[in-house]
Amino acid sequence: MEALRVLTIVFLACISISQAVTPPSTNPQVQGLFVFGDSALDGGENTYIPGSKIVSAVPPYGKTYFSKPTGRWTDGRTIADFLAQALGLPLLPPFLEPGANFLSGVNFASAGAGLLDETNAHHGVISMNQQLRQFRNVTNEYRKEKGVEFTNHLLKNSVALFSMGANDIANALPSPYLFQQMIQAYSSAIQEIYSYGIKHIIILLVPPIGCTPNLRALSAQSRNTNLTPEGCTGIINILVDAYNTQLQNLAIKLHHDFRELNIATLNPSPVIMNVLRNPQKYGFKEAEKACCGGGPFNAAEFCGDADKHDWKPDHKNKYAKFVCDNPKDYLYFDSNHFTEAGYWFVMKNFWYGSYNIARPSSLNFFFAGFNVPNPPPRP
């Protein structure tokens, strides 16, 4: 009987040890992340562009996570930052940051940038074509400094993240020809990245920009009554949906043409619309007004400290400035961009979301062949 008791204890101990020790994954880890985009992903690129008129390197941007402005258009991290951390990578430096280490990837995203070269060109931004040129420079430096074998291995085990199109739609008269130009530019960019060896590509679709505090304020000012039940400018969201559908179709076509291409499109619109309809259900207290700004919907004044902006030193605020006490309570940080909490909520839905959010599959399945050390918790 005593012998049986000892054997039972040993058996249970073995079970405990086997459950406590997780064998190391045999899957490779993602080696690099390359980010192309606009202000949704900008990690501070515009800060280093002389004379750029679209910059956010002033307080209170960055206050939540970094405790200082970094050039990101939010109070903390973006989707690109959350993705890098999930993959076990450091936060990526912007391409123009002096002395930056690019061995784990680069963030080329530039606030205000578009797929078309002319989009916001007079404001000092870096378009998609210019970002691709920067990418070529980086890969050439890899080959020069580290060799061809290192470069090929890095790119083969890297991911490219894209977010483009919102500024093209906002700064031009949308038309079938405009969308045709945009989709062609996107197609060329993805094919070029693929030709360099990056086979894993993620496309962030355009969010419902008709629902931003900026558009709400403009609608109130113009007394626009043609709004959706959520208070959004419906015609803008219809255009966004039409563009997003074409982008989803492009991803399907490219996967058909290049069978080794692992490509996913991530649509924030269903996630954002759910929050707008019931903010409290998803952990937010305010989904219409910005956390930072002034005037109607806190969207009529620039969020940052205007007196620290050398490109508009004579600006006089029409409305009293406002900065919320807790950005986590808000979906939007400024008139057009989400809070870190908003981006984090969207990211978790991208990771585990259904087909209407992530196609052909969520990021959880997109990275099934990789060892992902820090996957986000379920929303």
CA distances to 63, 95, 146, 186 from 77, in Å: 10, 18, 30, 25
Is residue 41 within 8 Å of residue 285, measured between CB atoms?
A: no
Q: Is 357 exposed, middle or buried (0-12, 13-18, 19+ CB in 10 A)?
A: buried
Strand partners, 160: 34, 201
Residues assigned a catalytic role: 39, 334, 337
Q: What span, in angstroms and rounded, lies between the C-alpha atoms of 378 and 376?
A: 6
Q: Which residues, in sequence order, are CB contacts of 177 under 8 Å at separation 6+?
A: none
Q: DSSP for 196-265?
A: TT--EEEEEPPP-GGGSHHHHHHHHHTT---B-TTS-BHHHHHHHHHHHHHHHHHHHHHHHH-TT-EEEE
Strands (E), 45-114: 105-107
Distance separating alpha carbons of residues 251 and 264, to the nearest angstrom: 7
Residue 119 tokens read as: 């989009």
> 218 near 177, Cβ under 8 Å?
no
Residue type, 182: M
Task: Tell me how far apart the alpha carbons of residues 199 and 243 are, in angstroms, rounded to a whole number.
Answer: 24
Q: What angle do CA 269, 126, 37 make, to 5 degrees?
A: 25
Q: In angstroms, rounded to a whole number, what is the distance separating the alpha carbons of residues 289 and 296?
A: 8
